[in-house]
Amino acid sequence: MTFTFQPEDLKRDSSKKMSHQHLFPLAMEEDVKTADTKKANRALDHEKENTRSICLLEQKRKVVSSNIDVPPARKSSEELDMDKVTAAMVLTSLSTSPLVRSPPVRPNGTEGLSGSWKEGGGVPSSSSSSGYWSWSAPSDQSNPSTPSPPLSADSFKPVRSPAPQPQPDDGIDEAEASNLLFDEPIPRKRKNSMKVMFKCLWKNCGKVLSTAAGIQKHIRTIHLGRVGDSDYSDGEEDFYYTEIKLNTDSVADGLSSLAPVSPSQSLASPPTFPIPDSSRTETPCAKTETKLMTPLSRSAPTTLYLVHTDHAYQATPPVTIPGSAKFTPNGSSFSISWQSPPVTFTGIPVSPTHNHPVGTGEQRQHTHTVLSSPPRGTVSLRKPRGEGKKCRKVYGMENRDLWCTACRWKKACQRFTD
């Protein structure tokens, strides 16, 4: 496709050249030999590269768009059929449960198709996707097979819409779907009785209580040191406990059962929290974030929030400690006046304060600060902009290949740092 175009382009170029100087094609060689024209041509080529590539892209796009339409559509439809088939097959094979489905009409007709499409496709895919489908299948047993995440996300969507399952529980279905958007399947809520417990995450305290109120009170009084006003709750306790779900028969196991905690937002948690709404208004996103963290890291309120490494391009300047900001590690130059930006940057997190929250017993804002920091990261301290000449200015547009890589990528210049 592009081949047809490129020669054209070249021709256009050369024709332009030729028209300027000679009409003979042979003359081109001569003209290449002459020094100044050569140079000019090269520069011209460099400059042209941009426009050329643009043209190329545009043309390409046209061609592609006109051509490609058909194959994907067909493929998707095939895929879709396949998925329907497999899904149906799986469902039928799996559903040995009380409610007997009427045998699907489709698979019979299309089974041959699946066979021809891909011989392995029929059988093994059932294993891969069945793991996935098992969630909606009536059988409650946890299927050991694990689907590959990327595939599941993809194959899942097309299948769901065309073949809506006659499932009794549509509500959960939808809730589940929203979860699926984020990451791999969340362990499904067990239908048999699960007990929800609340575990204190405070360091060295693994206290488990059966009620949210209880755990909150525990945290308030024991860890936050708020003895007097037990009524007052600003939702701070939320960060120090987590809810864990237990099978009624299995006894509390701390960590393993902590993992499923994450879906708390979609599960039963809302009703179980008697926390005043007023305090929650600011926390919801923060809270979900905490829930996503691993219990271990979560269990230590003392954890410093990690210095987030910046682009490699700007090396360490933003991270440098105010006092020592005299030398950029890449060594190409030194900066004297880097003080202000780093100061504001590193200063805000108030790391010294939330270094020892336990010691005072006073409830600190540290969780809030830590959690609110990611969004604050969007507040970009733009680099003051180096006053020195950068690659672009030094070498100019035409010598772009002499620029440092960072400059070429339109990143902070590495060569002429200041």
Partner DNA sequence: GTTGCCGGGGG
Partner DNA sequence: CCCCCGGCAAC
Closer by beta carbon to DNA, 166 or else 384? 384
Closer by beta carbon to DNA, 271 or else 331? 331
Closer by beta carbon to DNA, 18 or else 394? 394
Distance CA 152, CA 143 (A): 15
How is residue 374 written in tokens? Answer: 């990611």
Q: How far is the CB of 178 from DNA (least distance, A)?
A: 21
Q: Are 345 and 381 in contact (CB under 8 A)?
A: yes
Distance CA 336, CA 245 (A): 56
Q: How far is the CB of 308 from DNA (least distance, A)?
A: 11
Q: How far is the CB of 21 from DNA (least distance, A)?
A: 29
Q: How far is the CB of 380 from DNA (least distance, A)?
A: 3
Q: How far is the CB of 341 from DNA (least distance, A)?
A: 10
> Cβ of 131: how many Cβ atoms within 10 Å?
19
Closer by beta carbon to DNA, 135 or else 327? 327
Closer by beta carbon to DNA, 241 or else 345? 345
Residues at the site binding DNA, with contacts judged by CB under 7 A? 50, 53, 311-314, 378, 380, 382-387, 389-393, 397, 405, 407-413
Q: How far is the CB of 403 from DNA (least distance, A)?
A: 9
Closer by beta carbon to DNA, 53 or else 211? 53
Distance CA 92, CA 108 (A): 12
Q: How far is the CB of 415 from DNA (least distance, A)?
A: 9
Closer by beta carbon to DNA, 204 or else 380? 380
The residues near 413 (Cβ < 8 Å, ≥ 6 apart) are 386, 390, 391, 404, 406, 407
Closer by beta carbon to DNA, 68 or else 300? 68
Q: Are 198 and 212 in contact (CB under 8 A)?
A: yes
Q: How far is the CB of 82 from DNA (least distance, A)?
A: 25
Q: How far is the CB of 320 from DNA (least distance, A)?
A: 14
Helix axes 70-94, 106-117, angle to 10 degrees: 120
Q: How far is the CB of 349 from DNA (least distance, A)?
A: 16
